Amino acid sequence: MNEPHITNSADVDIDALCTHMRIAAFDLDGTLARSKKPMHADIATALSELTTLIPVAIVSGGIMQLVESQVTDMLTPEANRANMHLMPTTGTRYYRWNNGTWTTVYERDLSESDRAAAIASLTRRAHELGIWEDDTWGPIIEDRGSQITFSALGQHAPVDAKERWDPTNEKKNALAKAVQHDVPNLQVRSGGSTSVDISARGIDKSYAVHELAKALGTTVQSIAFIGDRMDPDGNDYPAAAAGTIAIRVHGPEDTLALINRINTRLRH
């Protein structure tokens, strides 16, 4: 696989981007919003306008309920939900707006035995590595059906605590590597600020953008993918490696500036 070309958002040639892209796809946590928090009103307004100009996809490691509470519940009345593609749990599920509700296009759930093996490995390896926390905000391991997610500080930890826990990603990467050894038939990836995600092998954000291109009758190369975890161990990297127009942001502020530039260009 060739090394993907990844451009920092501030360096994007907006004219070239808007000429070539047919879909704007976004990671969620760290890109559109802080971890598990709703989008701010300004980015919700900008994203709502974008949905009236071009198809918009959200490809997140989080569950569908989080995508709704963080993104779709925050959209303005102007937003065109029919122009949106929601792909939670790292693209292992896909939803479209139909008759006033989000309707399942596909679900790629893990088998019961694979889910049990993933949970056992995460528990054992986290204890061995000394990163199993006893004082947490909610469950550490969540069975999302199509994805098993480890959240070191619990599912409901405050954003500030999560961002302090592993700023270099060393803890998450070590856990992911150890667990991958235990479950070679599954895909293990370092996820958000405190998370490790496990899904079926080959079903990740690369799979998501290929399914998205197929659904819209276009190419992966025409999808702009915007995310904050474009490092090789990050869960946005597979989307970049798949051949999308990969754009790295360093937080929602960068994303807001980029969307505003895109909106201005597409309106004219």
CA 93, chain centre distance (Å): 12
Query: Does the active-site annotation cover 29?
Result: yes
Query: Does the active-site annotation cover 27?
Result: yes
Q: Which of 15, 29, 73, 182 is catalytic?
A: 29
Indicate the pairing of strand 148-151 with strand 186-190: unpaired
Structure-block tokens of residue 99: 């008759």
Structure-block tokens of residue 204: 């990740």
Binding residues for Mg(2+): 27, 29, 228, 244
Binding residues: 27, 29, 144, 195, 197, 228, 244
Q: How far apart are CA 98 and CA 94, in angstroms?
A: 13
- 251-268 exposure pattern, b = at least 16 Cβ within 10 A, e = fewer: ebebbbebbbbbbeebee
Side chain identity, residue 151 = S
Q: Which of 11, 15, 27, 233 is catalytic?
A: 27
Q: How far apart are CA 58 and CA 73, in angstroms?
A: 13
Q: Active-site residues: which are they?
A: 27, 29
